[in-house]
Amino acid sequence: MSQNLRCRALNGTVLNTLTPFPESFRGGVVTIGKFDGVHLGHTAILRRLLARARQENVPAICITFDPPPLGVLRPDVASPPLCTLQRKLELIDARGVDAIVVIPTTRELLEMEADAFFRRIISETLAAGGIVEGETFTFGKGRGGNGETLRSLGNAAGMAVDIVPSVLVDNHVVSSSRLRSLIQDGRMEEATRLMVRPYRLSGTVVHGAGRGRTLGFPTANLAGIETLLPQPGIYAGQVMIGAVSRRAAVHIGTIPTFDVPRPVVEVHVIDFDGDLYGTTLHVDLTGIVREIVKFDSPAALVARMREDVRHIRTHEPGILFPESL
Q: What's the mean per-residue pLDDT of the chain?
A: 92
Output the pLDDT for position 314: 86
Whether residues 255 and 163 share a domain: the answer is no
pLDDT higher than threshold 70 for residue 127: yes
Output the pLDDT for position 2: 36
Q: Is residue 234 part of a domain?
A: yes
244 — alpha (psi -120 to 50), left (phi > 0) or beta? beta
Picking from 153, 169, 185, the residue at the C-terminal end of a domain is: 169
Whether residues 53 and 100 share a domain: the answer is yes
Output the pLDDT for position 106: 94
Q: Is residue 4 part of a domain?
A: no
Which CATH number goes with the domain that contains 255? Answer: 2.40.30.30
> What average pLDDT does the segment 247-263 reach?
96
Whether residues 122 and 206 share a domain: the answer is no
Output the pLDDT for position 254: 97
Poorest-pLDDT segment among 10-14, 147-151, 229-233 = 10-14
Poorest-pLDDT segment among 64-73, 174-183, 195-204, 287-296 = 64-73
Sheet holding 160-164, edge to edge: 13-15, 99-104, 60-66, 29-32, 130-134, 160-164
Output the pLDDT for position 12: 80
* pLDDT bucket at 37, cuts 50 / 70 / 90: very high
Determine the Cα–Cα distance for residues 172 and 178; give it in Å rounded to an integer.
8
Output the pLDDT for position 70: 87
Q: Where are the extended beta strands (E) located within the chain?
A: 13-15, 29-32, 60-66, 99-104, 130-134, 138-139, 145-146, 160-164, 168-169, 172-173, 199-206, 220-223, 233-241, 244-255, 260-269, 280-290
Whether residues 219 and 161 share a domain: the answer is no
Determine the Cα–Cα distance for residues 184 and 186; give it in Å rounded to an integer.
5
> What average pLDDT does the segment 60-75 reach?
92
Given a contact cutoff of 8 angstroms between Cβ atoms, the answer to whether 215 and 305 are in contact is yes
* pLDDT bucket at 317, cuts 50 / 70 / 90: low
Whether residues 142 and 17 share a domain: the answer is yes
pLDDT higher than threshold 80 for residue 114: yes
- Label the pairing between strands 172-173 and 168-169: antiparallel
Q: Is residue 187 part of a domain?
A: no
Nearest CA among 152, 156, 149, 180 for reference residue 34: 180
Output the pLDDT for position 315: 75
Whether residues 202 and 165 share a domain: the answer is no
Whether residues 155 and 43 share a domain: the answer is yes
> What average pLDDT does the segment 30-44 reach?
97
Q: How many CA atoms lie within 13 A of 143 on its CB side?
A: 8
Output the pLDDT for position 306: 96
> What average pLDDT does the segment 265-283 reach?
96
H or E segment to which residue 308 belongs: helix 298-314
> What average pLDDT does the segment 180-187 reach?
97
* pLDDT bucket at 16, cuts 50 / 70 / 90: confident
Nearest CA among 250, 291, 243, 242 for reference residue 269: 250
Poorest-pLDDT segment among 124-128, 192-196, 242-246 = 242-246
Determine the Cα–Cα distance for residues 323 and 307; give it in Å rounded to an integer.
27
Q: Name, in order, each residue with C-beta under 8 angstroms of 245's C-beta and a sequence gap of 6 or more.
A: 238, 239, 322, 324
Q: What is the domain count for the chain?
A: 2
Domain limits for position 147: 13-169
Output the pLDDT for position 316: 64
The model's pLDDT over 82-104, given as tens digits with 9 standing for 90+, comes to 999 999 999 999 999 999 999 99
The model's pLDDT over 147-173, given as tens digits with 9 standing for 90+, comes to 999 999 999 999 999 999 999 999 999
Output the pLDDT for position 243: 87
Percent of the chain whose pLDDT exceeds 70: 94
Q: Is residue 177 part of a domain?
A: no
Which CATH number goes with the domain that contains 36? Answer: 3.40.50.620
pLDDT higher than threshold 60 for residue 290: yes
